[in-house]
């Protein structure tokens, strides 16, 4: 799986800013068989973990997050960039590998005590999913696990997530 993903990930140097090597997953989206196998791999690696809801982070976290929720037969909840969600929301500021941003979640996204799988395409510094985890905690959710296609190990995002005590599934590491 790791090699199949790496073969398709496109490295774009100096995007979105100088010094960043951007790992572009769009070529993967054109390989239907691989997309289907990625979902099966996530499901297999998450076996035995109690998941009530998948929360996917805008925008690339929506792509496989919704497919994964559908496969797990649980609801999908979007965590969006500031100003995009229409209903009452709570927000969190954060730093990521190439800047700063704000994410939000609807106040009624899930029931208190729900076990949430947090999904995104890529784990870099972990700033984005850390902020997502804080939002989920504020709504009374429990982090069941994290899932990513790619992890950038040198940025130590996994260390940042340790305090949440949840399994981190990474299909590919750089």
Ligand X SMILES: Nc1ncnc2[nH]cnc12
Ligand Y SMILES: O=P(O)(O)OC[C@H]1O[C@H](OP(=O)(O)OP(=O)(O)O)[C@H](O)[C@@H]1O
From ligand Y, ligand X, none, interface partner of 123 (C-beta below 5 to 8 A by class): ligand Y
DSSP letter for each residue of 1-17: -HHHHHHHPEEEET-SS
The yes-or-no answer on residue 60 being catalytic is yes
Preceding amide of 16 cis, omega within 30: yes
Distance in Å, CB of 100 to ligand X, minimum: 12
132 scored as a contact of ligand X (CB under 6 A):
no
DSSP three-state, residue 85: coil
Which C-beta is closer to ligand X: that of 1 or that of 20?
A: 20
Q: How far is the CB of 55 from ligand Y (least distance, A)?
A: 12
| Per annotation, catalytic residue among 58, 60, 80, 104 | 60
Indicate the residue among 33 and 68 with the shorter CB distance to ligand Y.
68
Q: Tell me how far CA of residue 120 lies from CA of 18, 19, 112, 142, 161, in angstroms.
A: 23, 22, 22, 17, 14
Nearest CB to ligand X, comparing residues 69 and 122: 122
151 neighbors 170 (Cβ within 8 angstroms) = yes
| Residues 40-99 interacting with ligand X (rule: CB under 6 A) | 96-97
Are the beta carbons of 38 and 64 closer than 8 angstroms? yes
Q: Which residue has the tokens 């106040």?
A: 107
**Residues engaged in binding ligand X (CB under 6 A):** 20-23, 96-97, 122, 124
Please give the positions annotated as active site: 60, 97
């Amino acid at each position: 799986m790791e090699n199949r993903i790496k073969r398709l990930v496109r490295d774009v140097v100096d995007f979105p800013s100088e010094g960043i090597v951007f790992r572009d997953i769009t070529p993967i989206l054109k390989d239907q068989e691989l997309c289907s196998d990625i979902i099966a791999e996530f499901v297999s690696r998450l076996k035995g973990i109690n998941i009530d809801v998948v929360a996917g982070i805008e925008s690339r976290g929506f792509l496989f997050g919704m497919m994964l929720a559908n496969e797990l037969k649980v609801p999908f909840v979007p965590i969006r960039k500031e100003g995009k969600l229409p209903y009452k929301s709570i927000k969190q500021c954060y730093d990521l590998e190439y800047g700063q941003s704000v994410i939000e979640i609807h106040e009624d996204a899930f029931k208190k005590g729900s076990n949430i799988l947090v999904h995104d395409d890529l784990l870099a510094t972990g700033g984005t999913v850390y902020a997502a985890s804080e939002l989920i905690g504020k709504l009374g959710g429990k982090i069941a696990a994290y899932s990513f296609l790619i992890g950038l190990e040198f940025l130590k995002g996994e260390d940042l997530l340790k305090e949440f005590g949840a399994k981190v599934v990474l299909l590919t590491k750089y």
